[in-house]
Amino acid sequence: MPNITDKQYEVMKKTIGLDRRKQIVRNQYIGPNKELDELVDIGWASKHAEDYLIKKPTYFLSEQAKRYTYNRFLEEDTAHGKDD
């Protein structure tokens, strides 16, 4: 298990996008991002070439990274008493 920094975790949360029911609703981050480049290096994300329409790199998290982010989010959410 790699050490994930808080900055990387915040970007991972934005990448998977959770709805109000805490379901993962997307797995995409568009635009250059240093933290996601670091995750690509350890195999926790993939970076896809610039598309001719968007003209920016697109990142997707691996299944392991999505699970880690989701589980950490649920732990923090419950620990802060926000679970309703």
Summarised one tens digit per residue, pLDDT across range 26-73 is 999 999 999 999 999 999 999 998 767 778 999 999 999 999 999 999
The pair phi, psi for residue 48, each rounded to 5°, is: -110, 145
pLDDT over 80 at 1, yes or no: no
Rounded Cα gap, residues 60 and 47, in angstroms: 7
Domains and CATH numbers, the chain: 6-79 (1.10.10)
- What pLDDT does residue 82 have? 56
Identify the band that residue 7 occupies on the pLDDT scale cut at 50, 70 and 90. very high
Q: Distance (Å, rounded) from C-alpha 38 to C-alpha 4?
A: 10
